[in-house]
Chain A
Amino acid sequence: MDHSSSLEKLLRSVAITLVLVFFLFPIVWIFLMSLQTNETILRIPPSIAFTPIIDNYTALITGQLRTAAGSLQLNFMQNMFNSVLLSVCSVALSLVLGVPAAYAFARFKFRLGEDIAFTLLSFRFAPALLVLLPLSLYFKTLGLTNTYIGLIWVYQLICLPLILWIVRGYFEDISPDIEHAYRIAGNSWWRTFTRISIPLAKPGIAAAGLLAFIFAWNNFVFALILASADKQPVTVGALAFVTASGIQYGQIAAAIIISITPTLALALYAQRYLVEGLSMGAVKG
């Protein structure tokens, strides 16, 4: 009995180690690259022994990229600001629109309700380019091209369905009678929604919001087509490191490390909500 339990523990440890190595290796490798010059990164044979430098980070923060071909102005911190602005605003707008809509879909049966909910989800099925080509024409006509408002609007295609479907599942898991008990004690529908339903669905809302933030942060193609350099997020901004004198691997790696830091920190902080929210709401729902 003891023997088999030790064997189980060993196998479990090996499996966990393999999974960790598989997923963490790229991050560790990128981090190491961010502390090297292009020359040490590209040397043959490759080696993990090097003198760490912080020049790549300095270049990103100061906006001055020095290459063999000369000096280049970088917009990386502006891209960072754009990423934060676009992701935060998109998720905030999606929560404002999506949470009440998810509640309505969960609680009320109305004509075409299921069809509307499915249509919203179907935005996730279509390749982004399918939507983008006609959308870019509309955006030009409406004057929304290269505007934050236009990008936040189009980011709803990513965030809104996600929030709607995850939070809907979560609301459906909450017994309507808990709300009824509150309403019959003398409280209005709105008060019940804000005081009972939303607090009870908080883990699901947090998980959906976090996922939507990660998806919005990682989006590449919308901003590439609908915005120019001053409004583009870090995902598109990283293209600036593909210069005439070659690809600046060190700066790309540093940019990646800086750009994943906010989402990683947020995910680690809200990990409990994420697991609880997804396992209770989305799966059951």
Chain B
Amino acid sequence: MAELDITRVDKIYHSRKGDVHAVKALDLVVKPGEIVALLGSSGCGKTSTLRMIAGFEEVSNGAITLGGKAIHALPPAARGVAMAFEAYSLYPPLTIGENMSFALKSSRLPQAEQEKRVKDMAEMLEIADILNKYPSSVSGGQQQRASLGRALVRDAGLYLLDEPMGQLEPQLRAVLRGRIKHYLREHNCTTILVTHDQTEANALADRIAVMEGGVLQQYATPAELKARPANLFTGTFIGEPPMNVFTADVSATAERVSFTVEGGTTLSYPASDMSEALRGRLAKTPRIALGIRPHALQLGEGPVKGKVTACQWLGDQTHVAVDVAGRTVVSVSQERVSRPTGSDVSLNVAARDLHLFDAASGNAIAHGGTLA
């Protein structure tokens, strides 16, 4: 399996209405056998990136190398890349089985080996019973699995999976995620997965590249993204429900560090909860953006006062929406909590759960009391 290097890659679409800079100076390295997810909202540049790697879009600037070989100027056929398409893109005149084996025709594998691969893959994806059917006569989910199977049966240096499980039912998706990850691991497949589903990215990927506005915001492991977001965008994008964010004025003394948020509420912590380096930094930063994940904002005795606007038990956790000085914040509890709408509540957050960002640039200053 090969390493993929994307170096200072730009994608600019030219049109009469003006240029659209879809991908800006993207740097990304995918190690051999690594599974990487490109995660972002619609229009963030993740699909453009994938299509540039596949060769369906030209690279405006920069270079893409796979296994040390520059591929960005090669036609798709010469790149040694396999791809599963979001819109399935199966050939209508061929059966599901033929669609999957079609990709192996140019591989010069013995016929028996081709058939075995298709059969094994179909069993893994639970489509063995529809191999003789035509794409038009099977469901969207089955077509999507066939498209995924068509990509995975091939021997390729890199596998590109564009929203590979978007059409599947949640239960099947959960089962297939495990199987696909196991398959990719077992075959040491270097893989890039494009998705807007955080659960899918967390479950499948070793590292996640978060993109927004064509810019790579952060490239890290799923745990790191959640614990140490590089900027306000990643902080609020990763995690469900999203992070609560306040603008806060900082007051740092030798004994205590305080954050006065909008509405006058002050969160005050002993100076010992913050590293010395962070205290020094905060002394020079009077205004910050304070991020608190809903799971870290706990109901009970605390300095943050507000009124409950909604309280929902979701089966495995409770989401409580609280109006704090005209702003809605969300607290998540793993237990079943019942708070009537309009009731007064207090909220608390520990210093180790604070995420501090520069108010102007949005870049992370600190996570959990230590500098970012």
Contacts and interface: CB of A to CB of B under 8 A. Distances in A.
Interface stretch (A9-17, A31-39, A147-155, A173-181): A173-181
For this complex, into which size category does the number of interface residues on chain B fall? 20 to 34
Nearest to A114: B16
A70 interface: no
A178 B150 CA distance: 12
A181 B92 contact: no
Nearest to A178: B89
A177 B147 CA distance: 11
Interface stretch (A46-54, A182-190, A275-283): A182-190
Contacts of A196: 91
A187 B77 contact: yes
B83 interface: yes
Contacts of B56: 176, 180
Interface in B89-105: 89-93, 102-103, 105
Contacts of A186: 77, 106
B134 interface: no
For this complex, into which size category does the number of interface residues on chain A fall? 10 to 19
A184 B77 contact: yes
B55 interface: yes
A75 to B, nearest CB: 46
B87 interface: yes
Contact of A184 (B15, B55, B90): B55
B213 interface: no
A144 interface: no
B81 interface: yes
Contacts of A183: 55, 75-77
A200 B91 CA distance: 9
Interface in A188-226: 188-189, 196, 199-200
B54 A185 contact: no
B103 A185 contact: yes
A198 to B, nearest CB: 12
Contacts of B154: 185
Contacts of A199: 93
B85 A180 contact: yes
A181 B150 contact: yes
B82 A184 contact: yes
Contacts of B83: 180-181, 184
Contact of B87 (A175, A184, A189, A200): A175
Nearest to B83: A184
B89 A180 contact: yes
A177 B85 contact: yes
A185 B78 CA distance: 9
A183 B87 CA distance: 16
A187 B89 CA distance: 16
Contacts of A176: 56
Given A177-B85, A180-B56, A180-B83, A185 B106 contact: yes
A181 B90 CA distance: 8
A184 B54 contact: yes
B77 A181 contact: no
A220 B75 CA distance: 48
Given A177-B85, A187-B106, A200 B92 contact: yes
Contacts of A177: 85, 87, 89
A183 B77 CA distance: 5
A182 B85 contact: no
A184 to B, nearest CB: 5
B166 to A, nearest CB: 14
Contact of A180 (B76, B105, B106, B150): B76
A180 B246 CA distance: 46
A189 B75 contact: yes
A57 B200 CA distance: 76
Nearest to B15: A109
Contacts of A187: 77, 106
23 contacts: A176-B56, A177-B85, A177-B87, A177-B89, A178-B91, A178-B92, A180-B76, A180-B83, A181-B89, A183-B76, A183-B77, A184-B54, A184-B55, A184-B81, A184-B82, A184-B83, A185-B105, A185-B106, A186-B77, A187-B106, A199-B93, A200-B92, A200-B93
Interface of B: 15, 54-56, 75-77, 79, 81-83, 85, 87, 89-93, 102-103, 105-106, 147, 150, 154
